[in-house]
Amino acid sequence: MEFHGTTTAGAVFYNINANMGETLEFKVVAYDGAGRTASYNTAPYWEYLVEGASALPAQVKGFKVEKGMNGIEFSWDKSPELDVTGYEIREGSFWEGATTVVENYAGTRFFTTKKNSGLYMYHIKAIDMLGNVSEQAATATLMLIAPSIVMGFSSVQNGDHAVLEWRKNPEVDVIGYEIRSGISWANSQHVVYVSGTSYSIPVGATAIDSYLIKAYDTAGVESLVAARVNQQVTRSQSHNAVHVVDATALGYPGAMMGFSRVSSRLEGEDATETEYAEYVQEMDMQKRYNAMVTTQEIVTAKSDEVRTWKDMRFGWNSSKASAPGSQRWMPMTSACSRKSRSMWVNGTRTSSLGR
């Protein structure tokens, strides 16, 4: 078939009517405004077989499916056929009856995720502008392995919250954890996705809260078995528990260092080397509480002698200049004074006295 036609400058396509089965031969010859044309003999030449709408797209080439950092990745070569407008991917043993993953997708890369491990089979076909699909599907398979069960899952109540903690999974592709509330994974309620190894959650209204956890990887695959922990919920009481101990009335039954009992008080030992004194007494609440503990000590102290700067005639490295734990005594100003010796204490409880 021979046909002559012209088109405007800058045109990138030209329409022509043809019959199915015909072979069209094309040459494109340029011409200028003066009517001068390029050489016909050296003009580009090609042939095209008119196949019509009955010709199906060819089988897709280079189809692959892999597990990557962004999920399950599908990739394939772009179809060379000009009328191919998209692709359809299905999951299943065969194309017919398989589950559609994506359809009419125009690109050549696609990502998805899966929650369950196992062997998966995927198929792809090309689609043309008339809706025709490839006769033969290209097929690829992928094996997904589930992360191991989360280890060390524990819970501790802190006020009105339960603090959940666990150990990091050993798999390098595990990127997070899903926490649920309930007795079983299938009948539980989703709480949160986290990437760390701890999470604080408000306790519920029940006497016992149950929490479950699974790890998931880059493909979205979760652990086969969930780890579970039960939290015994203790309700906060609207009152304070106050425990008072009068150490003076008890005769100071605790352990002391650098002190001695004189009548109803503690008095520092009158020795030149005495620089530090300590009294420690056990506190027994008599009853177990789940509460925030605050202690308060009431102490009175008096020194009957003051050592001033001019009295400090010992060397900086002498034992007199050393505090317990080898901390050196250092004057703050030239007017600094130092209290020591003959110290006495009255109070309900004291933990330590020193310079």
Please give the full DSSP string across 243-282, using - where no structure is assigned: ----TTTTT--SEEESEEEETTEEEE---TT--EEEEE--
pLDDT at site 160: 81
Reported confidence tier of residue 42, pLDDT bands at 50, 70, 90: confident
252, burial (CB in 10 Å: exposed 0-12, middle 13-18, buried 19+): buried
Burial 256-273 (b: 16+ CB within 10 A, else e): bebbeeeeebbbbeeeee
Reported confidence tier of residue 347, pLDDT bands at 50, 70, 90: very low
pLDDT at 340 over 50: no
pLDDT at 259 over 70: yes
What is the fold, at CATH topology level, of the domain defined by 64-144?
A: Immunoglobulin-like (2.60.40)
State the span(s) of the chain assigned CATH 2.60.40.10.
64-144, 154-232
pLDDT at site 351: 39
pLDDT at 113 over 60: yes
Residues 279-326 pLDDT 10s: 888 888 777 766 666 666 666 666 555 666 677 777 777 776 664 444
What mean pLDDT do residues 99-104 have? 96
pLDDT at 19 over 60: yes
Q: Which is more confidently placed, 25 or 299?
A: 25
205, burial (CB in 10 Å: exposed 0-12, middle 13-18, buried 19+): exposed
What mean pLDDT do residues 341-347 have? 38
What mean pLDDT do residues 9-16 have? 63
Residues 135-178 pLDDT 10s: 999 999 999 999 999 999 999 888 788 899 999 999 999 999 99
Q: Are 279 and 351 in contact (CB under 8 A)?
A: yes
Helices (H) and strands (E) in the chain, counts: 0, 25
pLDDT at site 339: 39
For the chain, the 3-state helix, strand and coil shares in percent, each to the nearest 5, are: 5, 40, 60
pLDDT at site 4: 58
**Cα torsion 66, 70, 72, 75: sign:** negative
pLDDT at 90 over 90: yes
pLDDT at site 245: 84
pLDDT at site 345: 41
Residues 209-227 pLDDT 10s: 899 999 999 999 999 999 9
Domain with residues 154-232, CATH architecture: Sandwich (2.60)
Q: Which is more confidently placed, 287 or 332?
A: 287
Task: Give the closest residue to 252 by CA, choosing from 268, 241, 242, 263.
Answer: 263
Q: Which is more confidently placed, 285 or 197?
A: 197
Q: What distance in Å separates the CA atoms of residue 229 and residue 209, rounded to the nearest whole number?
A: 8
pLDDT at site 244: 83
Mean pLDDT of the chain: 80
pLDDT at site 258: 81
Q: Lowest-pLDDT range, 194-203, 234-243, 263-272, 331-340? A: 331-340
Amino acid at 68: G
Q: Lowest-pLDDT range, 38-42, 226-230, 337-341? A: 337-341
Strands (E), 82-173: 84-91, 99-105, 109-112, 118-128, 138-144, 154-158, 161-165
CB atoms within 10 A of CB 135: 10
Specify the pTM.
0.52
Q: Which is more confidently placed, 195 or 279?
A: 195
